[in-house]
Each structure stands twice: as structure tokens, then as C-alpha cells.
Amino acid sequence: MVNGEIVGVFGIARDISEQKHFERQLSFNANHDRLTGLLNRVSLEDRLALDCHITRRHKRRLAVMCIDLDGFKSINDSIGHYYGDQVLIEVAQRMIQQVRPSDTVVRMGGDEFIVLLPDLLCDEDVVLVAERLMASIAKPYCVQGMDLHVSASVGITLSDGHIEQPMQLIQQADMAMYKAKQQGRNNFQWYTSDLNQRVCEHASLRNDLQKAIETQTLQLHYQPQIDARTGRVVGLEALLRWEHPEKGFISPAAFVPVAEDSGQIIPLSLWVLDTACAQLRQLSDQGVTSISMAVNISPMHFQRGHFVHYVQATLEKHGLRSEQLELEITESLLLNNADQAIETLHRLKALGVRIALDDFGTGFSSLSYLKRLPIDKIKIDRSFVQEIATDHNDAAITQGIISMAHHLSLKVVAEGVETASQMEFLKGSRCDVFQGYYFAKPMPFVELEAFLGFPTSMPDRQS
Ligand SMILES: [Mg+2]
């Protein structure tokens, strides 16, 4: 060992090992996620191909899981990325502990992970692993003395390894995960071929909607709101309408959720607000200044930064007074981050914009929130109004809502008023404003002008 030559050899050997180490480090960095140390998406395709091969050779079953954290975004958004990162590191460690060394855990990016289990004896074995993973992820994370919580939505697909394009398994697991999210999160769902069918429909709807946004073939219709005492039109609600070139009228209940998932809701929501304000301006120019315009606001748009600025800029652009605009919000706005939502509402209120709580009575309708919300109006959901003349429970609830709202100095709008007896009952219960087919259906702008008693528009004014 003290031989000079040997020492020389040692020197060379060390140089090579350093280089090897460096190369290994480079290759490690290329294939691994820097934050969690898990494999990254670069290595996924190779791993998956290898696992398909192993599964075929051993005649086993391969499970692919797509795992997305629930509630993670709000950690990043509300207390910062440092905390979010610590949670991700811990999630990765917990996941590794729940799988075998032959299994693979990949961080796809953000809070999405893929787990490959290539060596299952039977399909059901994956359930145990999914449940263990979900339970361990759902335990609290203590970061700098703060207890943080997330859960996991899991999509699962299975294969015998005989698949031409293994990456399709990732897509399938992703679709199933998406279904788990829709089922209320913190659960797992299997991929099924009908799921594929539905996702295809979903995708085609999304494409068509994109075209409709780009070519501006969506329309706003306006439904008048009638003052209960004077019988005059005091407001309008702008309602989005989509006439599909082949499929005909598509209900917002069908396409708004698609738009919310794809993010298209933001351009859509911007367009709605801008168009409604532009047409209210048009009415103002014709001397109608006492009518307000109600616009439904998507929670996603509302929660974005700059929402208040955008509202302000839109009002200024069209030269409208802020009290001419009414924003209709729903309670779902409060589900994610109630404090932040309430703060945004206060800022809108300071701007002078009116705020109405839509669909009242259908959600959790927490009365303690109602006290804290800086709102002007509540809109009683049509489902109550429908039965008020025949069902004494609905009648009692409606009367109760109206009386409570008045004690809180809130105005009450009844939606879906369709008959004279409903109108009479609501009038007797001191409801302030009516909206519904009994008075007027939602109508295109040109018809609205006629409804409001303007001389008929020139055809070229249609837009
Ligand atoms: Mg509404």
C-alpha cells in the first residue's frame, strides 16, 4: 500500500470515479425531480415499457395509478410555496414507504404523481395499495409548527402488459383520477371504457367551445327583473347562451363545468362581463339609467388576482356607474378560501358594485356566513318558488328567508316566478323583486329593446 506506483494508480482511479460520479449526477438530475428526489416524467416512458415487459414475462398484472393532491393549491396560494414544497417532499417520502422497491413513483409535476405496480398477482391487490397511499397522504403535515392537510384523488387502470402504446395507460389513469376529483375528491376510481367515451365527448365539447369563444358565437340573453311594488323593470340578468352549429342549444349547465375544468371559463367570463356592460351602456345611451345589470360570476374568475381591477376597468371602459352593475355570486365561492373571498367582496363593495347571493337555499346556506358577507341581495332559488303555492314547507321556508333577509337589510329576488299564484304569494310575503317566465323569458338584446318599449331596432344593429 505504501508503494509509490500504487498511490499513482489510486490517483487516476479517483479521477475517473469523480468523472463517473459527475456523469451519474448529471443523469440523476435529468431523470429525477429536484425537489422530492423521485423519478421525473422524463423517465416515465422507459419505466412503463420495462414494467409492461416484466408483467408480460411473469404473467402478472400491472397497475398504473395517477395521484393528484386535493387542497394543495390553497396551501401554495394562501401561505406560500415554501410550505407547499415541504408538503410535497413529505408526500413523496410517504408514498415511497407504501410501495415495494420494484414499484415506481414518479412526480409528473406540480402535485401530480404516477405510481407503477408491475408485479401484482391479482387486480384487487392494487386496492390495498391505493388505500394505504390515500391514508398516509391524508395524515397531517407539520411544517414549522403549522398543521397542514391534503388528501389524494386516485385514478387506477390495469393491464396485462400487452399494450402497443403503454403511455395510453397514463392517459387512462389520468381520466380515472379526473373522475375521482369529480366524485368529491379523496377517493379512487377505476378507468373504464365508458369513461373514455365520456372524456371524448368532454374533449369535443371543449374544442367546440374554444371555436365558439374565438368566433364569438356565444350570446347573452337578458331576463328582466320586476319591482314587486311598482311593476317596473329594475334590473336585467345576463345569461349565457350557446347555439351549437350541429347540436343546437347547449345548456350552460353542460358547458360551464367543461369550461371551468379547461380554464376557458376565464376568457368566457371576461367576455360576458364586457358584453353585458357594453349593452347596458347602449341602454343608458337610450335613456335607460335606472336599470341595473346582473352578471353571474364564476368562482374561478372571482378567485383570480386582479378580479376587482378588471371589474373597475370594465366599468370605466363603458362609462358606467358602479351601482349599475350587480355581480351574482354563489356560496361555492366560500368553499376554498372564505376569508379571501370575503375580502374581495369588501373591495368590490367599496368600489360601489352591488352583490347578490344566487341560488340561495340550495347549498349549505350557512347563516353565519350570511352575516359576514357584504351583500345587497339574495336570490331565492327557483326550486322553492316552484312549489310555494302548493307545498306549505316551501312556502314557509320562502317566507322565512324573506323575513330573515329583511332583518339583515337585504333585498330579496325570487327566481323562476311562473304563475300568478306564485307571484301573489311572494307579493304577500313582501318579496322585493320578481324574475321569471310569468313576466318575461330571457331574450336577445334586440328583443329586450322592444320589451322595454323602444322603437324597433334597425336590423343592422343586431350584434
Ligand atoms: Mg344567476
pLDDT tens figures, 184-196: 788 899 898 776 6
Give the residue with greater pLDDT, 245 vs 439.
439
Query: Of 134, 75, 34, which is closest to residue 337 (Cα–Cα)?
Result: 75
Check residue 101 and give its pLDDT: 92
Q: Give the bridge partners for 155, in sequence order.
A: 66, 189
* 330 CA from centroid of ligand 1 (Å): 9
Check residue 348 and give its pLDDT: 96
* 56 CA from centroid of ligand 1 (Å): 55
Decide if pLDDT at 462 tops 50.
no
Return the percentage of the chain with pLDDT > 70, whole number: 92
* 450 CA from centroid of ligand 1 (Å): 23
Check residue 423 and give its pLDDT: 95
* 233 CA from centroid of ligand 1 (Å): 17
* 353 CA from centroid of ligand 1 (Å): 16
Check residue 134 and give its pLDDT: 95
* 156 CA from centroid of ligand 1 (Å): 37
* 308 CA from centroid of ligand 1 (Å): 19
- pLDDT band at residue 15 using 50, 70 and 90 as cut-offs: low
* 69 CA from centroid of ligand 1 (Å): 31
Decide if pLDDT at 349 tops 60.
yes
Distinct helix (H) and strand (E) counts, the chain: 18, 17
* 222 CA from centroid of ligand 1 (Å): 11
Fill in the amino acid letter for 94: R
Determine which helix (DSSP H) or strand (DSSP E) holds 328, and give its type and residue range. strand 325-329
**Mean local confidence (pLDDT), 414-424:** 95
Give the Cβ contact number of residue 126 at 10 Å: 23
CATH numbers and ranges of domains, the chain? 25-192 (3.30.70.270), 202-452 (3.20.20.450)
Q: Average pLDDT of the chain?
A: 88
* 237 CA from centroid of ligand 1 (Å): 7
Decide if pLDDT at 412 tops 90.
yes
* 224 CA from centroid of ligand 1 (Å): 12
Check residue 182 and give its pLDDT: 83
Give the residue with greater pLDDT, 416 vs 455.
416
Question: CA separation (Å) from 273 to 148, 237, 266, 298, 348?
Answer: 36, 11, 11, 11, 14
* 456 CA from centroid of ligand 1 (Å): 28
* 72 CA from centroid of ligand 1 (Å): 30
Decide if pLDDT at 39 tops 80.
yes
* 80 CA from centroid of ligand 1 (Å): 34
* 108 CA from centroid of ligand 1 (Å): 38
* 283 CA from centroid of ligand 1 (Å): 21
**Mean local confidence (pLDDT), 430-441:** 96
Decide if pLDDT at 139 tops 90.
yes
Check residue 461 and give its pLDDT: 38
Answer for the pair 382, 389: CB distance below 8 angstroms, yes or no: no
Check residue 7 and give its pLDDT: 54
**Mean local confidence (pLDDT), 67-86:** 90
* 207 CA from centroid of ligand 1 (Å): 26
* 289 CA from centroid of ligand 1 (Å): 21
* 356 CA from centroid of ligand 1 (Å): 9
Decide if pLDDT at 351 tops 50.
yes
Q: Give the bridge partners for 235, in sequence order.
A: 225, 292
- pLDDT band at residue 42 using 50, 70 and 90 as cut-offs: confident
Q: How far apart are CA 292 and CA 286, in angstroms?
A: 14
Q: How far apart are CA 321 and CA 312, in angstroms?
A: 10
**Mean local confidence (pLDDT), 267-292:** 93
Which of 286-295, 302-311, 330-339, 436-445 is the least confident region?
Answer: 330-339
Check residue 459 and give its pLDDT: 44
- Burial-class residue 49 by CB neighbours within 10 Å (0-12, 13-18, 19+): middle
Check residue 174 and give its pLDDT: 93
Question: CA separation (Å) from 69 to 109, 112, 157?
Answer: 12, 7, 18
Answer for the pair 188, 130: CB distance below 8 angstroms, yes or no: yes
Check residue 215 and give its pLDDT: 84
* 15 CA from centroid of ligand 1 (Å): 72
* 296 CA from centroid of ligand 1 (Å): 5
* 271 CA from centroid of ligand 1 (Å): 16
* 394 CA from centroid of ligand 1 (Å): 20
* 363 CA from centroid of ligand 1 (Å): 14
Spell out a b/e string for 240-253, using b for 16 or more CB atoms within 10 Å of the CB, else e.
Answer: bebeeeeeeebeee
Query: Of 238, 253, 242, which is closest to residue 212 (Cα–Cα)?
Result: 242
Which of 155-164, 203-212, 401-410 is the least confident region?
Answer: 203-212
Question: CA separation (Å) from 183 to 115, 180, 204, 298, 370?
Answer: 21, 5, 22, 20, 28
Question: CA separation (Å) from 256 to 62, 198, 239, 336?
Answer: 36, 16, 12, 19
* 349 CA from centroid of ligand 1 (Å): 18
Distance, CA of 202 to chain centre? 15
Q: How far apart are CA 72 and CA 56, in angstroms?
A: 37
Q: Is the pTM of this model over 0.95?
A: no
* 442 CA from centroid of ligand 1 (Å): 12
* 328 CA from centroid of ligand 1 (Å): 6
Q: Which residues contact 160 (CB under 8 A, 6 or more apart)?
A: 55, 56, 59, 61, 62
Decide if pLDDT at 431 tops 50.
yes
* 385 CA from centroid of ligand 1 (Å): 15
* 433 CA from centroid of ligand 1 (Å): 14
Answer for the pair 404, 366: CB distance below 8 angstroms, yes or no: no
Check residue 384 and give its pLDDT: 87
Spell out a b/e string for 199-237, using b for 16 or more CB atoms within 10 Å of the CB, else e.
Answer: beebeebeebbeebbeeeebebbbbbbbebeeeebbbbb
* 247 CA from centroid of ligand 1 (Å): 24
* 294 CA from centroid of ligand 1 (Å): 8
Query: Of 331, 210, 354, which is closest to residue 268 (Cα–Cα)?
Result: 210
Q: How far apart are CA 209 and CA 212, in angstroms?
A: 5
Check residue 65 and give its pLDDT: 97
Query: What are the cell numbers at 383?
Result: 326550486
* 354 CA from centroid of ligand 1 (Å): 14
* 358 CA from centroid of ligand 1 (Å): 5
Residue with cell 318599449: 453
Helix, strand or coil, per DSSP, at residue 447: helix
Residue with cell 352549429: 245
**Mean local confidence (pLDDT), 311-327:** 97
**Mean local confidence (pLDDT), 428-437:** 96
Rg from Cα positions in the chain: 29
Check residue 457 and give its pLDDT: 45
